[in-house]
Structure 1
Amino acid sequence: MKPFVVAILGPTATGKSALALAVAGRYDGEIINCDSTAVYRGFDIGTDKIAPADRRGIPHHLIDIVDPTDEYTAAQYARDAAAIIRDVHARGRLPVLAGGTGFYFRALTRGLFPGPGRNAALRQRLESIAERRGVAFLHRLLRKVDPESARRIQPRDLKRLVRALEVFYLTGRPLTAHFADTASPIADLDVLAVGLRLPAALIAERVTRRVDDQFARGLLDEIRTMLARAIPETARPFGGLVYRQALEHLHGVRDEDSTRALIVQENRRYARRQLIWFRKEPNLSWFDGPGESSAIAAAVMHLIDAYVARA
């Protein structure tokens, strides 16, 4: 049988981790993270990482692999994930990807183009514009020239915004237009991709519970610890959802209740963007229900069994 990979994808708060644990437990698998925030050490509560004690003895890969000040790109992720997938296969086990970073998944399954080298002068001009007019201005600019990249990049993610605009101005083509010219590092493998989907109202409820739990588990203390360790506020994890809003709260921008409400609101928006992104992925089988549902797990396992029977 041709080696294959199971990928469990979808918007935030749909239960991907729970389903990945069930699938990996059933098929002697190992889980490979596909979430861009979980790669950073020390940022645990706001990224909702599964604690080692809750992993049921199942190996997890590409979690806590880089320091918060390190640069970790989608291209590096694709190389690392591909190497781990082949290692898992070599040991006779099933690789199970799990996460909601669509760009990481696309880099792995379709590849990324090398792109033009960094242009220091252009980057400085773009960063100067951001200083004068705000990072959100760059996001609006990107939305005009590369709407698809604008949907996946957070409005305050200066580094990714600058890179996407840099590629457009240097090549005359949007970043996403270059993807067709690339090759996947696992092109010789089959990818059985599963998407979890929930109604917006249910996602809102689940996100609200999760945010309350994150604050109860010490999110603000986690941030204070990072700052005490001299992690700069410009480190990439601090620019992501949850951490950005919580950091603003610590600076007195808004009170805690308003901060919680804002995090929920931003997560709901992010979930919509994720759904739009994953809808464009070919050959993705959608399941309507939370990943921790026994019925959803059974349905996904039926899909895997059917694939194995055909192979």
Structure 2
Amino acid sequence: MALETRKSPLLVAIVGPTATGKSHLAIEVAKRFNGEVVSCDSTAVYKGFDIGTDKLSISERQGVPHHLIDVVDGSCNYSAAQYAQDATAAINNITERGRLPIVAGGSGLYYRALTRGLFDGPGRDGQIRTRLIRIATKRGVEYLHRLVERVDPVSARRIQQRDEQRLIRALEVYYLTGRTLTEHFDSTQSPIESYDVITLGLHLSLEEIFRRVRERVNEQFRRGIIDEIKSLLDGGLSRDSHPFGGLVYRQVLEHLDGARDESATRELIARENRRYARRQLIWFRKEPNLHWISVAGEHPDAFQQAVTVLQARLC
């Protein structure tokens, strides 16, 4: 593949719901087309958050360089805007070295920030935030999610029900500007607009995704997710740190606090992951020009379908 002779630089993205094999397919595509992987995962950027994010080990990466994994400490609050900036820099660097950048992951917000851009939102409003925090304390974070759902159902589908920070921001922007986050996003410009983006989406049946989710949750506990979280806390990381609000980590923290036993915690994590997978499917189905692959990323057919799509676009 003569990347250097193209009028527009090429970028491949591999997206889709959780537990569909995106990382595996990205590695196979990278090996075939001289590529490097740019992670698109909102929690994998944090150091030490390994098991709950299913980070691939160095050996599992099979010599393929990976970017935007383990780049910030857990005490930081890494944003979609920062991701778009860092991912753009990584993509440009990979391209300048004559290699193929491959963005892979399931964070719809991060993917959209990269491919469509983010708006320069209003500054924080202390009064609004104080009022929303009081509402969350009194009525629960889920109530904030219902408020977002009323005014901005698209954002409500991509923001987890207990992600208090992002829910507050969505409502804050709406109250300050009179426009939803979705409306603002629709009028933005991508930082990689000069690239020819080919997006592949992994799409399995919900039954298959649910089966894979349950297997992965059991594997995470077998690998020691509880000990990983205890180690992070023992190292001085606050339980209020942003990555602890993500799937798996939040539920295990609640288990450590005595909210439920391990069996119930496993079931809750699987259930929340199933809901998340549904939201991801809804999100990515709205993406234009996405090429769906209806087998898991580990399946040989997934690689063959990916190669067919890429070669057709390169002719």
User: Where on the TM-score scale, by shorter chain, does this alignment land: which range?
Assistant: over 0.9
One-letter code aligned to 1:186 = I
Say if 2:210 is the partner of 1:204.
Answer: yes
> What residue in structure 2 maps to residue 39 of structure 1?
45
TM-score (norm 1): 0.98
> What residue in structure 2 maps to residue 232 of structure 1?
238
One-letter code aligned to 1:201 = E
SS at match of 2:229: helix
Per-residue deviation at 1:137? 1.1
> What residue in structure 2 maps to residue 100 of structure 1?
106
Superposed CA deviations along residues 220-260 of structure 1, whole A, max 9, x for unmatched, are 00010011012111111111111111111111111111111
Query: Of 301, 306, 311, which residue of structure 2 is paired with 1:305?
Result: 311
SS at match of 1:261: helix
SS at match of 2:14: strand
Say if 2:35 is the partner of 1:29.
Answer: yes
Per-residue deviation at 1:180? 2.2
SS at match of 1:181: coil
Distance (whole Å) between structure 2 residues aligned to residue 226 and residue 180 of structure 1:
38
Query: Of 272, 275, 279, which residue of structure 2 is paired with 1:273?
Result: 279
SS at match of 2:133: helix
Say if 2:300 is the partner of 1:294.
Answer: yes
Distance (whole Å) between structure 1 residues aligned to residue 136 and residue 309 of structure 2:
47
Superposed CA deviations along residues 193-218 of structure 1, whole A, max 9, x for unmatched, are 00000011111111111111110111
> What residue in structure 2 maps to residue 111 of structure 1?
117
> What residue in structure 2 maps to residue 69 of structure 1?
75
> What residue in structure 1 maps to residue 200 of structure 2?
194
SS at match of 2:75: coil
SS at match of 2:38: strand
> What residue in structure 2 maps to residue 133 of structure 1?
139
Superposed CA deviations along residues 247-284 of structure 1, whole A, max 9, x for unmatched, are 11111111111111111111111000000000000010
Moved over 2 A (4+): none
> What residue in structure 2 maps to residue 57 of structure 1?
63
Distance (whole Å) between structure 1 residues aligned to residue 69 and residue 126 of structure 2:
32
> What residue in structure 1 maps to residue 178 of structure 2?
172
Per-residue deviation at 1:23? 0.2
Per-residue deviation at 1:67? 1.0
Distance (whole Å) between structure 2 residues aligned to residue 107 and residue 187 of structure 1:
12
SS at match of 1:8: strand
> What residue in structure 1 maps to residue 3 of structure 2?
none
Say if 2:156 is the partner of 1:150.
Answer: yes
Query: Of 223, 228, 239, which residue of structure 1 is paired with 2:229?
Result: 223
SS at match of 2:186: helix
SS at match of 1:30: strand
Distance (whole Å) between structure 1 residues aligned to residue 258 and residue 134 of structure 2:
26
One-letter code aligned to 1:219 = I
Distance (whole Å) between structure 2 residues aligned to residue 96 and residue 240 of structure 1:
24
SS at match of 2:59: helix
Distance (whole Å) between structure 1 residues aligned to residue 12 and residue 90 of structure 2:
14
Distance (whole Å) between structure 1 residues aligned to residue 144 and residue 128 of structure 2:
13
Distance (whole Å) between structure 1 residues aligned to residue 110 and residue 291 of structure 2:
18
Q: Which moved more, 1:253-262 or 1:90-99?
A: 253-262
Q: Which moved more, 1:251-260 or 1:23-32?
A: 251-260
Per-residue deviation at 1:293? 0.6
SS at match of 1:45: coil
Distance (whole Å) between structure 2 residues aligned to residue 135 and residue 264 of structure 1:
20
> What residue in structure 2 maps to residue 19 of structure 1?
25
Distance (whole Å) between structure 2 residues aligned to residue 23 and residue 55 of structure 1:
12
Distance (whole Å) between structure 2 residues aligned to residue 118 and residue 95 of structure 1:
35
* Count of residue pairs brought into register by the alignment: 309
One-letter code aligned to 1:18 = H
Say if 2:12 is the partner of 1:6.
Answer: yes
> What residue in structure 1 maps to residue 256 of structure 2?
250
Superposed CA deviations along residues 272-304 of structure 1, whole A, max 9, x for unmatched, are 000000000001010100001111101111111
Any stretches of 5+ residues in structure 1 without a counterpart? Answer: none
TM-score (norm 2): 0.97
Identical counterparts, % of pairs: 59
Superposed CA deviations along residues 111-152 of structure 1, whole A, max 9, x for unmatched, are 011011111121111112111221111111111111111111
One-letter code aligned to 1:296 = A
RMSD: 0.8
